[in-house]
């Protein structure tokens, strides 16, 4: 299995955590987003959207972190990343989509670049823009987590797709300097996830060579 990713990509991070949680081995060729390698003809042949992650498995190329995690769940069901109850499964997906579909697309590199090039946004404006949407997402997670029964993870004793997505939102908040102080429940969940090996191993960290 080959995961085309980048060390500071939070979408790649989500898939790395899912692969580690399921105990699957993979290589991770780096697509250097800072140097525009996502726009090379070679990479556009892999993913015409010019974005990571892309997972090569059994001759197929899968894209979109949510679709990849759902595929892994169907193909390698144990340990599960979704709860069993249909309402809980829908809620887990909804929590994940709050960041995957709503918040994250607002500050991916191509959006930040467009804001800079077309509207003249400087670094401070970009930071404020991304920070605004990240904080909105954190506020919503805080309220939604308060409604969950007490448990170490979002749905009980094992981490899953909702935990992965919320943690990716926290990681992005760190990259954009968002003040986490007001978000007590999210911070507690994040600290619990830091204790899980799969999350630690997947953590974005600049490789020595980058």
Angle at 189 between CA 188 and CA 193, to 5 degrees: 120
Give min distance, CB of 180 to ligand GSH, in A: 20
Q: Which of 19, 55, 95, 100 binds ligand GSH (CB under 6 A)?
A: 100
Q: Which residue in the set 3, 18, 46, 51 belongs to the binding site for ligand GSH (CB under 6 A)?
A: 51
Query: How far is the C-alpha of 188 from the C-alpha of 75, rounded, in Å?
Result: 31
Residue from 80, 109, 131, 152 touching ligand GSH (CB under 6 A): that is 109
Does position 165 interact with ligand GSH (CB under 6 A)? The reply is no
CB of 157 to ligand GSH, least distance (A): 26
Q: Between 12 and 190, whose beta carbon lies closer to ligand GSH?
A: 12
Interface contacts to ligand GSH, rule CB under 6 A:
9-11, 33, 38, 50-53, 64-66, 100, 108-110
């Amino acid at each position: 299995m080959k995961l085309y990713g980048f060390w500071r990509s939070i979408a790649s991070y989500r898939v790395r955590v899912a692969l580690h949680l399921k105990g699957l081995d993979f290589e991770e060729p780096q697509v250097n987003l800072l140097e525009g390698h996502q726009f090379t003809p070679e990479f556009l042949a892999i993913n015409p959207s010019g974005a990571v992650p892309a997972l090569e498995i059994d001759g197929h190329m899968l894209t979109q972190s949510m679709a990849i995690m759902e595929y892994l769940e169907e193909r390698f069901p144990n340990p599960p990343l979704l709860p069993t109850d249909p309402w809980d499964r829908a809620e887990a997906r909804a929590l994940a989509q709050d960041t995957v579909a709503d918040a994250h697309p607002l500050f991916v590199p191509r959006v930040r670049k467009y804001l800079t090039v077309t509207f003249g946004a400087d670094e401070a404006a970009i930071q404020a823009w991304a920070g605004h949407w990240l904080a909105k997402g954190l506020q919503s997670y805080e309220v939604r987590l308060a409604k969950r029964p007490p448990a170490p993870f979002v749905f009980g004793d094992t981490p899953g797709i909702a935990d992965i997505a919320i943690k990716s939102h926290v990681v992005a908040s760190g990259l954009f300097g968002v003040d986490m102080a007001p978000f007590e429940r999210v911070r507690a969940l994040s600290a619990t996830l830091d204790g899980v090996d799969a999350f630690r191993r997947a953590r974005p960290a600049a490789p020595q060579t980058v």
